[in-house]
Amino acid sequence: MKYELIVFDWDGTLLDSAAAIVQAIQAACRDLDLPVPDDARARHVIGLGLADAMRHAVPDLAPENYQAMVERYRFHYLSGDHELTLFAGVPDMLARLQAAGHMLAIATGKSRLGLERALDHSGLRPYFMASRCADECHSKPHPQMLEELMAEFGVAAVATVMIGDTSHDLLMARNAGVDALAVTYGAHPHDHLLEHAPLAALGSIAELDQWLKTCA
């Protein structure tokens, strides 16, 4: 076993939620009569902690409007998050990895409350031994999430791999000295992910599962 610890991002990697996040950001901006970011700008911030995401998506956001923006974003996202679905094949892949003896964890830009809600809706809670969220750690690409997970399980960086759909995930892995896999079906475009030299850029859960069977 090359990788004892396999760490997954959540949104856009396991859950098909990127479009819903973009729409919630844009709807929140419209509610507050703020400039509405285009899809590309809104998608780029997926994976960051909520505060960093809002600052990047709406750079002209005044400090006094920050809390209102967060509240409107959460309103729009939570009104439909129960309808979001996992990418096809996710539960089977996680079950196989768990049965093979890998330790599975999550490093996400979601809040703790948001991740707990998502784990319950998705039914994936039994597969993960630990998780770190953006309201508990520095936001990606700071390495704190991965460093804490490795420390929790006593696993070296060389035995850890990070899997995500954004440059924020890949940069976090690099900053932690950890190998990284990119999935290209989520938030960030294929070419942008390749700029950060992941081990592979995989276009589906089936491709990801096959890579892990062969190389992990």
184: phi then psi, degrees, rounded to nearest 5: -100, 10
**Which of these is catalytic: 11, 169, 179, 209?**
11
Residue 11 designated active-site: yes
**Cβ neighbours for 126, distance < 8 A, ≥ 6 positions apart:** none
Pure H helices in 32-132: 39-44, 50-57, 66-78, 90-99, 112-122
Strand partners for 182 = 164, 201
The terminus-to-terminus CA distance of the chain in angstroms comes to 6
Give the closest residue to 110 by CA, choosing from 10, 38, 179, 214: 10
**Which of these is catalytic: 9, 165, 169, 209?**
9
d(CA 202, CA 23): 25
Residue 44 Cα to chain centre, angstroms: 12
Neighbouring C-alpha atoms within 13 Å toward the C-beta of 30: 8
Residue 9 designated active-site: yes
Catalytically active residues are: 9, 11
